[in-house]
């Protein structure tokens, strides 16, 4: 899967040490299927050579508005007309000021000014010292750029080349790649709030051991990413997994089913969509031992009494917001056999409009999956694909079922 296949990106580099990250970014864009045309300011060429960027992009690098290689001697027109987007990474404080002023005395600012603004978006990845970032002039310039239609991608925080620490670092290449991929996804859930539960729960027997399951959380994390790409404000309530939080998603970590219930109920009060992907343990020990349960040499296993865990999906589905249709609930059923029968029964038992079924042993820990969508009208099968592709299909299906979003 190449999320940027068919996209032509003009990657603009301005003066700053973060130019070293632009090399990895260029490579990542190409690997994701994009063609990349690099344009560099004179200052950028003090930090990284055009030769490096040409080798990584596979295309001649431009740096002068007087470049005679263009038959009409108008690279600012030709390069901007060919682009699906212009990405400035890194974008220095000086270059942001140039953009705000409409300066056009070198190629990169000139082609940004000359771009067809209605169809060639401008994405800006700032990079500068923390004091420069915090300066009122920089903040004013960013606000004006946003008002002029540019998309500001934000900055990272941490150690800076100058030896100081703080905000202003250019985002890492993989973060910028994720932002660019998300930018091109249809905003089907704009102005929506989505809560997703993901991963297993862990029910402690003692301070060392507990009961859990094989769920990796990958499907739920993919759904959270897809919902954010679709424009939603996303909260991910995650059981104990070691996955990275999807870009732009707010994460709440929990361990037990009771913790997940409490966190979920707190989050869905303002949500439009709830997707219960988590594989919640059905039972937990009645009591957790205060110390590790030791073998006594008799060969007899300890007797452990269990009690049923709360049903998170049912609790949310029976809430006033869900019953009134204000909150759209989606359940997941991970089965080992008779998937369709169990999925239909679970949807009716929970009283939800949509249930997604899969065979657990065939998907736990895997990067792909195969899904059944079960609603009151029947069953739709989503063929085996990567979990992110399936998540995007599911998000599109959910979006089509929602009433029109209120205009802000």
Residues known to be catalytic: 162
Burial (CB count <10 Å: 0-12, 13-18, 19+), residue 243: middle
Q: What whole-number distance in Å separates Cα of residue 144 and Cα of residue 96?
A: 10
Q: What whole-number distance in Å separates Cα of residue 57 and Cα of residue 29?
A: 9
- What does the DSSP assignment read for 345-407? HHHHHHT-SEEEEEEHHHHTT-SEEEEEEEETTEEEEEEEEEHHHHHHHHHHHHHHHSPPPPP
- Please say whether the beta carbons of 395 and 388 come within 8 A: no
Q: Phi and psi at residue 343, in whole multiples of 5°?
A: -65, -45
Name the 3-class secondary structure at 25: helix
- Please say whether the beta carbons of 13 and 39 come within 8 A: yes
Name the 3-class secondary structure at 33: coil
Q: What whole-number distance in Å separates Cα of residue 303 and Cα of residue 308?
A: 17
Name the 3-class secondary structure at 276: strand
**To which residue do tokens 């790649």 refer?**
177
Q: What whole-number distance in Å separates Cα of residue 21 and Cα of residue 358?
A: 40
Q: What whole-number distance in Å separates Cα of residue 162 and Cα of residue 164?
A: 6
Q: What whole-number distance in Å separates Cα of residue 387 and Cα of residue 371?
A: 10
Residue 351 backbone zone (phi > 0: left; psi -120 to 50: alpha; other: beta): left
């Amino acid at each position: 899967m190449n999320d940027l296949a068919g996209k032509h990106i003009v990657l603009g580099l301005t003066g700053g040490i973060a130019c070293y990250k632009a090399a990895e970014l260029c490579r990542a864009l190409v690997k994701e299927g994009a063609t990349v045309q690099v344009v560099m300011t004179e200052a950028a060429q003090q930090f990284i050579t055009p030769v490096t960027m040409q080798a990584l992009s596979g295309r001649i690098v431009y740096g002068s508005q007087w470049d005679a290689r263009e038959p009409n001697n108008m690279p600012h027109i030709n390069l901007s007309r060919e682009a699906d987007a212009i990405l400035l990474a890194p974008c220095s404080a000086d270059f942001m000021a140039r953009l705000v002023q409409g300066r056009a005395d070198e190629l990169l600012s000139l082609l940004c000014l000359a771009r067809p603004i209605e169809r060639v978006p401008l994405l800006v990845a700032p990079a500068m010292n923390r004091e420069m970032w915090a300066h009122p002039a920089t903040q004013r310039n960013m606000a004006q750029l946003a008002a002029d239609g540019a998309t500001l991608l934000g900055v990272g925080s941490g150690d800076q080349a100058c030896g100081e620490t703080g905000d202003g670092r250019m985002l890492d290449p993989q973060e910028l790649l994720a932002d660019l991929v998300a930018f091109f996804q249809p905003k089907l859930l704009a102005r929506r709030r989505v809560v997703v539960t993901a991963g297993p729960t862990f029910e402690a027997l003692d301070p060392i051991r507990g009961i859990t399951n094989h769920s990796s959380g990958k499907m739920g994390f993919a759904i959270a990413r897809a919902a954010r790409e679709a424009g939603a404000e996303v909260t991910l309530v995650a059981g104990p997994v070691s996955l990275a939080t999807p870009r732009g998603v707010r994460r709440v970590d929990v361990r037990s089913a009771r913790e997940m219930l409490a966190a979920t109920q707190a989050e869905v009060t303002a949500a439009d969509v709830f997707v219960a992907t988590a594989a919640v343990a059905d039972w937990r020990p009645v009591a957790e031992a205060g110390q590790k349960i030791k073998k006594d040499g008799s060969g007899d296993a300890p007797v452990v009494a269990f009690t049923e865990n709360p049903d998170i999906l049912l609790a949310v589905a029976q809430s006033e917001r869900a019953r009134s249709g204000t909150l759209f609930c989606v359940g997941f059923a991970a089965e080992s056999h008779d998937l369709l029968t169990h999925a239909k029964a679970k949807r009716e038992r929970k009283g939800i409009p949509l249930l997604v079924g899969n065979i657990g042993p065939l998907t736990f820990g895997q990067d792909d999956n195969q899904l059944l969508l079960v609603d009151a009208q029947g069953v739709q099968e989503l063929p085996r694909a990567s979990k992110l592709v399936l998540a995007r299909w599911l998000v599109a299906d959910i979006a089509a079922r929602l009433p029109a979003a209120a205009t802000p």
